[in-house]
Structures are given as C-alpha cells and as structure tokens.
Structure 1
C-alpha cells in the first residue's frame, strides 16, 4: 500500500480564507484555493506519512465520512490530484 507525505519540508504555505484554504506551493510558485477535505488531508500528512486507509481512519475519527468504500474512493481521487499537482508525494 502506498503511503504519502508532503512534497517537502516547508514546501507549502497554508492559510485559511473564509471557509477555503489557500495552498502556496513554494517550489512551483503556484497558489491553489481548496476546500474540505483537501486541507484536512494535508494536515494529516504533515503529521504522519499515511496510506489511503490510514487517512480514512484518521479523518473518520473527526468527521462523518459516510460509506467507507465511497469515502475511500473520494480520498483516493483527492490524493491522486494532490500528487499530480506536486503538493504531496508517495513516501
């Protein structure tokens, strides 16, 4: 199972803004405006390398994620997008 981590130490600047989160990716110079669950995924990965199942377990502790299979599929989609943007990477 693949584990994920942030792109690098201090690679992201994270700021909250009116219910959204701004992610500034220093290496690319790009800023991304994101909504839940992306900030929560980033927050978990800043604390610990995690695979999709671990992300689900950690997030399910604080949020009602609904059906496990559907939530895992949704988390996988978000993680794949974050990897494609270079914001996180496989560990």
Structure 2
C-alpha cells in the first residue's frame, strides 16, 4: 500500500484578490503570478501547517462548490497541484 501524496502551501506565499483574478506573490523567488479560479480556492484549501492530501482538498472544496464528477475533479485538483509545485508555491510534504 502506498501513502497518499501530501501537499503544503509554501509559507512565503501571499494572495491578493482583485475581482476575477488573484495575484499570487512568492516572496522567496520575488515572483508575482496572476491566477484565476480554481487556483486560489485550492491554495486556501491547503493547510500551511499540516500536510494535506488531494482528497482532503477535494472534500474542503466540495463543501462550497459543485465540483461535478469526483474522478474528474480529483484529476484536475492534482493537475493544479502539480502546476503549483512547478511554480514553487506548493511543495510535497
């Protein structure tokens, strides 16, 4: 049995919501990224202190949003997490 991957938001990330876009500032790299939904929602669903699985992110988002078919929603959450890891704002824990 393999353990589920766990993710954690980098502590050096700041979000600033501007209507339909969110500015994501990563202090460590000095880079600012413009992101749209569902990226901010995924980041808010991640815990900065406790590693979180993609399934836990799904459950948290499901409480506020209609995510549609669970398998597809999980695949999209995992794809977004991979992109956020590539940006350096989320890390595997």
TM-score by length of 2: 0.89
Q: Distance in 2 between matches of 1:82 and 1:30?
A: 13
Aligned to 1:30: 31
- Stretches of structure 1 that go unaligned for 5 or more consecutive residues are none
Q: Is it true that 1:80 corresponds to 2:82 in the alignment?
A: yes
Deviations 1:58-79 (A, max 9, x none): 1011100000010011001100
Richer in helix (by share) = 1
Partner-residue secondary structure (3-state), 1:15: strand
Corresponding residue of 1:21: 22
Structure 2, gaps ≥5 residues long: none
Q: Are 2:11 and 1:5 equivalent residues in the alignment?
A: no
Name the CA distance, whole Å, in 2 between partners of 1:61 and 1:14. 21
Alignment partners' CA distance in 1, 2:63 and 2:78: 18
- Within 5 Å, give how 1:58-77 maps onto structure 2: 58-77=60-79
Instruction: State the Cα RMSD in Å.
Output: 1.2
TM (normalized to structure 1)? Answer: 0.91
Instruction: Look up the SS of the partner of 1:64 in the other structure.
Output: coil
Whole-angstrom CA distance in 2 between matches of 1:20 and 1:77: 19
